């Protein structure tokens, strides 16, 4: 939850989502257990009857990305409240580098719409109950890259985790990549999502005539976006 009684939180509400996974030894997260809807409001919540075990809770928010908040310490803070009829232990842990990518990929695989773009490629779109859009691409080829252009420039009142509404990526063999996450910018106003995907097979990783020489992503992935948009082996 955000600060529900704060006037500031009413002026700039975040897109909040809480996702619960099974914990897995030696990996970032296990299987998806439950999640809230993603909503632009002061708080969200979900309920689940859980078996005894270890779980990972991942709170998510994206609409403050690329909005001028360059100082990480100035990012909005949050409060996570857990209510249980049984005793439990909860601790705050240092997340793995790619926890955002793994969480969004798992959620999109479970809840997104599948589109078989071509042989060996599946595009997933997460829109329902998401206050925006996730586009994720799966490349099942063992020795071919998939070049993906994603054009969302006709969308309205949304912010992109890539900092732009048009992206180009080279998705390596046997990986999944979160191409873009679009988020409703303001909860009080309407928003619209438009997206168009163009793709082709390639024998090497560079974007060739779709990008700068030697580039694999446009815009390039940096320290702020690597954790969410890096291709992940499956």
Domain boundaries, the chain: 7-74, 99-233
Q: What is the pLDDT of residue 7?
A: 55
HSE value, Cβ hemisphere, 13 Å, CA-based, for 137: 30
pLDDT band, very low/low/confident/very high, at 9 (cuts 50, 70, 90): very low
Q: Could you name the CATH architecture of 99-233?
A: Sandwich (2.60)
Cβ neighbours of residue 89 closer than 8 Å, sequence gap 6 or more: none
The H or E element spanning position 99 is helix 99-111
Q: What is the pLDDT of residue 191?
A: 87
- End-to-end Cα distance, the chain: 32
Choice between 212 and 1, residue whose per-residue pLDDT is larger = 212
> Is the Cα torsion angle 43, 153, 97, 27 positive or negative in sign?
positive
Q: Are 135 and 195 in contact (CB under 8 A)?
A: yes
Most confident of 3-12, 87-96, 112-121: 112-121
Cα 70 from Cα 67, distance rounded (Å): 8
Question: Residue 148's Cα: distance from chain center in Å?
Answer: 17
Cβ neighbours of residue 198 closer than 8 Å, sequence gap 6 or more: 148, 149, 151
Give the residue-averaged pLDDT of 122-140.
Answer: 93
In the chain, DSSP finds a helix count (H) and a strand count (E) of 3, 14
Checking if the pLDDT of 27 tops 90, the result is: no
């Amino acid at each position: 939850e955000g600060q529900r009684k704060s006037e500031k939180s009413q002026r700039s509400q975040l897109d909040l989502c809480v996702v619960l996974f099974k914990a897995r030894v030696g990996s970032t997260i296990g299987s998806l257990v439950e999640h809230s809807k993603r909503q632009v409001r002061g708080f969200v919540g979900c309920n689940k009857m859980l078996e005894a075990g270890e779980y990972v809770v991942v709170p998510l928010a994206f609409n403050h990305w690329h909005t001028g908040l360059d100082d990480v310490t100035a990012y909005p803070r949050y409060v996570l409240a857990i209510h249980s009829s049984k005793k439990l232990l909860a601790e705050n842990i240092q997340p793995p580098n790619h926890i955002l990518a793994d969480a969004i990929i798992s959620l999109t695989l479970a809840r997104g719409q599948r589109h078989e773009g071509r042989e060996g490629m599946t595009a997933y779109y997460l829109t329902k109950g998401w206050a925006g859009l996730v586009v994720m691409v799966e490349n099942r080829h063992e020795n071919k890259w998939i070049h993906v252009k994603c054009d969302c420039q006709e969308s309205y009142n949304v912010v992109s985790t890539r900092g732009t509404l048009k992206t180009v990526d080279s998705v390596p063999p046997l990986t999944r990549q979160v191409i873009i996450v679009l988020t409703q910018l303001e909860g009080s106003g309407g928003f619209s999502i438009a997206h168009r995907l163009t793709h082709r097979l390639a024998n090497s990783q560079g974007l060739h005539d779709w990008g700068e020489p030697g580039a694999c992503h446009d815009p390039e992935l940096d320290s702020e976006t690597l954790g969410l948009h890096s291709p992940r082996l499956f």
